[in-house]
Amino acid sequence: MPPQLACQFTVGELAALRIVADETRQHGGCRLHIDAIAARAGVCRTTAQNALRAARRLGLVHVQERRRRGMASLTNIVRIVSREWTAWIGFKKLNTTDNRNSYTLTH
């Protein structure tokens, strides 16, 4: 994460956000459960939640909730919307004719 953004998070929160960035690089968005993000980052669930809440509040990510009536909800999809952060991880959003988000490696 760029230093001007990273200074607003703790080390643990940055670890959780790194997992989100890695998933975005590989899949175009992070569909991992909050417990999986926390486990991969080596932090507790609360730290991962706090990181995503802060990133959302700062306008760095968009969280798409996937609730299903009468059934268990699907995992949220976290997408990085910050241009500085996407440039930092080496991705840019492609313009497409459909509504899906497509990403490509720029390096």
What pTM was estimated for this model as a whole?
0.79
| pLDDT tens sequence across 76-96 | 999 999 998 888 887 655 444
Separation of alpha carbons 38 and 72, rounded Å: 21
Within the chain, strands assigned E span: 61-66, 74-80, 91-93, 103-105
| pLDDT tens sequence across 37-66 | 999 999 999 999 999 999 999 999 999 999
Separation of alpha carbons 45 and 49, rounded Å: 6
| pLDDT tens sequence across 6-26 | 999 999 999 999 999 999 989
